[in-house]
Amino acid sequence: MFTGLIQDIGVVERVIPGGMTDFWIRTALGARDFALGESIAVDGACLTVVERAGDSFRVQAAPETLRRTTLGARQPGSRVNLERALALGDRLGGHLVAGHVDAVSEVLETRAEGGSWVMVFGLPAELAPFFIEKGSVAIDGISLTVNSVGTDRFSVQLIPETQERTTLRSRGVGERVNLEGDMIGKYVARLVSLRQGPGGGGLSEAVLKAAGFGG
């Protein structure tokens, strides 16, 4: 489990293709202290540390992970967002992030707005039920607040701190990112669909209120 608060921007040193694709990543997090078998989120995808050497560590990605995330596009020199898994007693500063990427999206628009940076992304239809204004989303592992939601797109705003401490500000129009919908939203949608039964009318504000959520 993760929080979506990025701890370091790592640099991919080597990519070793095979049945499992190996990534060697350099980090300032103290890789020599990583436990073998511990989980780490790399651009929002939960991977397992299998080796460490100096300031670098190795993780492996299965073919399914490469198909469902942007990791297959990472090459030596690529910068990636890193977050170690939550430990018992850690503060939950962002929101609960599983590290299971739901979909890959595309940057549709970027613009400056005051000191912030607005980014608009495509919204895959299968994730639309989990997106609400001011709800949470993980983009490349970063916990962000949804600023606005349309039928096929949504926007977020990056404050200067997020721009500096993550890779997202460098993503341009047409580039792809990993998305993970809000975990609580998924459970609510699942619960409501079970209450509605087969042929239900889908998730809406009225349906949520009828199911006991909200006033």
The answer for residues whose C-beta is within 8 angstroms of residue 87's C-beta and 6 or more apart is none
Cβ burial, residue 31 (10 Å; 0-12/13-18/19+): buried
| Active-site entry in 100, 103, 193, 211 | 100
| Active-site entry in 31, 46, 138, 189 | 46
End-to-end CA gap in the chain: 31
Is there a contact between 159 and 112 (Cβ–Cβ < 8 Å)? no
Is there a contact between 50 and 20 (Cβ–Cβ < 8 Å)? no
Task: Establish whether 145 is a catalytic residue.
Answer: yes
| Active-site entry in 28, 53, 73, 145 | 145
The answer for residues whose C-beta is within 8 angstroms of residue 2's C-beta and 6 or more apart is 41, 46, 83, 85, 86, 96, 97, 98, 99, 141
| Active-site entry in 28, 62, 73, 210 | 62
| Other beta carbons less than 10 A from residue 139's beta carbon | 25
Task: Establish whether 206 is a catalytic residue.
Answer: no
| Active-site entry in 48, 53, 206, 213 | 48
Task: Establish whether 3 is a catalytic residue.
Answer: no
- Whole-angstrom distance, CA of residue 44 vs CA of residue 179: 8
Find the DSSP H helices in 49-109. 63-68
Task: Establish whether 39 is a catalytic residue.
Answer: yes
The answer for residues whose C-beta is within 8 angstroms of residue 92's C-beta and 6 or more apart is 3, 86
- Whole-angstrom distance, CA of residue 22 vs CA of residue 71: 11
Task: Establish whether 100 is a catalytic residue.
Answer: yes
Q: Which residues are catalytic?
A: 2, 39, 46, 48, 62, 100, 145
